Structure 1
Amino acid sequence: MVSAADRAKGPARTSVWLDVKSGRDRDRGRGRKSGQPAGLDRDKIIEATVRLLDSEGAAKFSMRRLAAELNVTAMSVYWYVDTKDDLLELALDAVFGTLPLPDLSTETDWRDQLRELATGYRALLVRHPWVSALIGTFLNIGPHSMAFSLAVQQVMRNTGLPPHGQMGGLSAVFQFVYGFGTIEGHFIQRCATAGMSQDEYFRQAMGTISEQPEFRESFANASELMEARGGDTVEDMRERDFGFALELLVAGIEAMVARA
């Protein structure tokens, strides 16, 4: 546990991962000191943090709320993490550890590996809607996040894109997935909050918009596009959209490789 006086002595930290004392094993291999609660460790704290973030969102998360979930005092948590931001970073990296990564030692086609990574990343953003905001807030350089990043970079190298184009290709695919997964996750969360299914929420919204005079003509013109989109449910439409968009990006990479 770091005191306020100790923090004031050093430069401001930008990430828990840049502090060697804040590694995952900081509290392991040492005897429990007076004041430290029995049966509590950093992993349990991180697991509880993820559960709370999933169920209540980042806006309602606090160290006091976490302590209540763990049935300990708030000060007990600070034996294992120095700040709330540190804990959010640790939780962010923990969920990245659930991402399946392709076996890069095999001769699997890069297209399949890219699809696997993109699909997994989308699922992560949908399963944990709080993740999208934290990715933009923190450096996201924990071991699990870096493993995902390195896998993505290796797959992009395997595409045959020239070095100067690989980061652009990576951005095209994963910024798209980030945006798609973020909106999808927030929409699902909004439907749950409203106590409605996704289809009910969508029908209500579209019905209301179609009745507005200023939108009626535009909505009618878009009806053909919506019908061509296909799918009986919101989930069906979303799967078609994501799959087609991802294939467009794969085809774009192939075209750029052929042009190089």
Structure 2
Amino acid sequence: MAKAARMSVWLEDTDGAVEPRPRASRGRRAEQPSGLDRERITRATVKLLDAEGLAKFSMRRLAGELGVTAMSVYWYVDTKDDLLELALDQAFGELEIPDTDAEELPDWQTQLRELAATYRELLVRHPWISPLVGNFLNVGPKSLLFSRAVQRVIARTGLTLAQQRGAVSSVFQFVYGYGTIEGHFRQRCAEVGLTQDEYFHKAMAAFSVPEEMADDFSHAERMMEAVEEGGDVDAMRDMDFQVALDLQIAGIETLVSQRR
């Protein structure tokens, strides 16, 4: 019977230890590899994932980057999944977390925008994060710092506890989806050797709406005219993100005003 996957590397290593744990089950008696630690391996994993993506990542490929054997890496992590989960939390450490402990805080709307923006930037910068967020519990120490900040900001909105859960899901699942699509689009453009604007204009020039759908898509075509007439993809995407976030915040404010 295959061994069941454990829930999280963080639930097993509850103390966040970075020291290696040799696996007696393999019956190895080799000496601990020198020059390695879990932190170095995790940093190398993030770098490799950024360069080559999740699909091409392997323990053998990582070991080659580190100049060691794959078995040496297993002194510090039990499985590839454990390592990916460690890399995910390492990336979350890049998030800029607003101060939620100060005596005088900006309004919750400002801090919510800051958290949404930094999360979007992280997803765009590391496209490999998106599938991992959906696959792991994401309860590492760096991720929890971000979650705590989100909860503290949402708690200041005036929503009930049940509404706060929904607000977190509404805002940050929206950001997750937006950042995921944006990050993958940028990655696709890089793979085909085009800028985002070149890719967009080339696609628009090649695509034609089926005649029977022309009336239905005429409004969509008018919405895209600004980009086609000298705008750029980044500006369009930033504007769309801000409008969508405005709608999220307006929805929260509406719920709060209804309670009052």
TM-score normalized by structure 1?
0.89
Aligned to 1:69: 65
Measured in 2, the distance between the counterparts of 1:215 and 1:208 equals 17
- Provide structure 2 residue ranges, at least 5 long, that are not aligned to the other structure: 22-28
CA deviation vs aligned residue, 1:125-158 (integer Å, no higher than 9, x gap):
0000010000111111111111111111111001
- Where in structure 2 are the equivalents of 1:72-151 lying within 5 Å? 72-106=68-102, 107-151=105-149
Measured in 2, the distance between the counterparts of 1:132 and 1:214 equals 37
Look up the equivalent residue of 2:232 and give its one-letter code: T
- Where in structure 2 are the equivalents of 1:163-174 lying within 5 Å? 163-174=161-172
* Percent of residue pairs identical: 59
Gap change, CA 1:207 and 1:215, over 3 Å in 2: farther
Please state how far the C-alpha of 1:23 moved relative to its aligned partner: 2.9
Measured in 2, the distance between the counterparts of 1:168 and 1:12 equals 30
Gap change, CA 1:248 and 1:74, over 3 Å in 2: same
2:208 is the counterpart of 1:210: yes
Please state how far the C-alpha of 1:231 moved relative to its aligned partner: 7.2
Aligned to 1:47: 43
Look up the equivalent residue of 1:73 and give its one-letter code: T
Q: 1:23 aligns with which of 12, 16, 21?
A: 16
CA deviation vs aligned residue, 1:59-89 (integer Å, no higher than 9, x gap):
1000000000001011110111110000000
How many residues align? The count is 248
2:255 is the counterpart of 1:259: no
Gap change, CA 1:214 and 1:133, over 3 Å in 2: farther
| Contact 1:113–1:155 (Cα < 8 Å) also in 2 | yes
- Provide structure 1 residue ranges, at least 5 long, that are not aligned to the other structure: 1-6
Measured in 1, the distance between the counterparts of 2:16 and 2:220 equals 53
Q: Please give the root-mean-square deviation of Cα atoms over the aligned residues, in Å.
A: 2.2
Q: Secondary structure at the match of 1:186?
A: helix
CA deviation vs aligned residue, 1:36-76 (integer Å, no higher than 9, x gap):
22211111100110011111111100000000000101111
Gap change, CA 1:21 and 1:36, over 3 Å in 2: farther
| Contact 1:209–1:216 (Cα < 8 Å) also in 2 | no
